[in-house]
Structure formats: C-alpha cells, structure tokens
Amino acid sequence: AQKITQTQPGMFVQEKEAVTLDCTYDTSDPSYGLFWYKQPSSGEMIFLIYQGSYDQQNATEGRYSLNFQKARKSANLVISASQLGDSAMYFCAMREGQGRYSTLTFGKGTMLLVSP
Amino acid sequence: SAVISQKPSRDICQRGTSLTIQCQVDSQVTMMFWYRQQPGQSLTLIATANQGSEATYESGFVIDKFPISRPNLTFSTLTVSNMSPEDSSIYLCSVEGTGTDTQYFGPGTRLTVL
C-alpha cells in the first residue's frame, strides 16, 4: 500500500481564491511527521509547512495551513488567496518514527495552476 | 533553516561517463540525504550519509553505481557512475535543520545523459 496518496494530479484555481490540495497517509507508527513542499519548474524543493502527529493544533505558515484530521489520516494543504507565483508542483511527505533522522516518503504530487 | 548549495546546477553528459555532484551546507549536520527525481516522478531516497561512516543505501541503489563521500559535517558528494539515459534526473541533497524537525533541500542538480 502507498504510504502517501495524493489523488489530484492537477488542480486549477483563480488568483485570490483558496485551494485545498489533498493528502492521505498510511502508517501504524504513533509518532510521525507530515510535510508539504513546493517545487517550481526550476526544480528546487521549497519547504512549506510541517505537522507533527502529536500536535494539537493545525499548523499554519502565512497563507499556508494544514488541515490535519488524524482519525481520517489526512493532511490537506490549504492555500489562501492564491497568487500566480503559487503555480508549481506540490508534494506531501511523511516521516515515520521518533528518530529525527528518519527519512521522508513522498507522494506523487499535485500540479497547481493559478490563473489570472 | 539550513542554506544548502549544490554544484553543478545542471549538466549534460555522455553515456558511460561519471559525474560528481557536490552538496555544501552552511552549518554542521549529522545526516545528509541524497534523493533522485526522475522526469515527471516523485522523489526517491538514494542513500543516507553520516559523517565518518559508510553511506546507507536504499533498495535498488548500490554503492558501485552511486558512491557517496562525507568527509566532514558540512559537505558531501554523490557520484553517478557509468551513466545511461535512465540516469537523467534531478538529484537533490537534503539535511535536517538544526533544532527543528524539518528537512531542507538543496536547489538540485539537473542531469541529462545522452
């Protein structure tokens, strides 16, 4: 079974609107972390937001928020007030276990296109 | 956060040759990670490099094909050996930020093998 599932290959949104990118995960480890990264066409991976499995509150970073529903094993990324520069590939990733040096498992990604 | 640089940023290489990719971090880190991203695909971990010991390779990746060096706490190299067109990918190094749970990535090396 896939550990990280991103079911939306592509999403379209108009500038200034909000958009939700879906991510579900599969793990039996009670300690894990969930990440979202943005990859523009240049290829770099830009860290956006992190949610720990024991965090009580949903993570927020500026226009980015993570809708963490632990029972449903989902960690959707919400981008508010979309901008043209948000057009990029978005990857959800998970790190399992308590070790800080555990590796990341990535989903297949969602391509977001923001139109004027 | 950590500031990570990679060299080269891109290269076009001939089949059968080797390329060494450098990764430099602005702070000392225990672990460095090397990932591969084939065209249109997600990231796949190649290996984990710990300073002073042999790198740990993931299933499907071997040391003869992807030798890694980790001479100190701020630097690592990944060599892609005896390249074929299937090695055309973006190669990214990453580290964990000091005092954080976050993993940061370098800008990547875009490799094309002809």
Nearest alpha carbon to residue A4 among A89, A96, A99:
A96
Q: Using the beta-carbon criterion (under 8 Å), do B107 and A95 form an inter-chain contact?
A: no
CA distance B15 to chain A (A): 23
Of A112, A87, A92, A86, the residue nearest A104 (C-alpha): A92
- Per-residue tokens: A92: 């959800």
Q: What is the pLDDT of residue A99?
A: 57
Smallest Cβ–Cβ distance between A50 and the set B33, B102, B110 belongs to: B102
pLDDT tens digits, residue range B75-90?
A: 999 999 999 999 999 9
Question: Minimal Cα–Cα distance from B37 to chain A, Å?
Answer: 9
Q: Using 50, 70 and 90 to split pLDDT, how confident is the model at A23?
A: very high
**Predicted confidence (pLDDT) at residue A100 exceeds the cutoff of 70:** no
Cis peptide before A9 (omega within 30 of 0): no
Can you tell me the mean pLDDT for B99-106?
Answer: 83
Tokens of B88: 């055309």
pLDDT of residue B22: 98
Tokens of residue B43, six digits: 């990231």
Confidence of residue A1 (pLDDT cuts 50, 70, 90): low
B91 confidence band (pLDDT: 50, 70, 90):
very high
Q: Is the pLDDT of residue A12 over 70?
A: yes
Q: Which residue has the tokens 């509150």?
A: A57
DSSP B34-89: EEEE-TT--EEEEEEEETTSPPEEPTT--TTTS-EEEEETTEEEEEE-S--GGG-E
Token pair for residue B15?
A: 């089949």
Average pLDDT over residues B36-41: 94
The two structure tokens encoding residue B62? 């071997």
Is the pLDDT assigned to residue A57 strictly greater than 90?
yes
- pLDDT on residue B52: 79
Q: Is B48 near chain A, with CB under 8 Å?
A: yes
Q: What is the pLDDT of residue A2?
A: 76
Mean pLDDT of A35-39: 97
Q: Are B87 and B103 in contact (CB under 8 A)?
A: no
Chain B closest-CA separation from residue A82 CA (Å): 24
- List the single residue in A46, A100, A108 with the smallest CB-CB distance to B42: A108
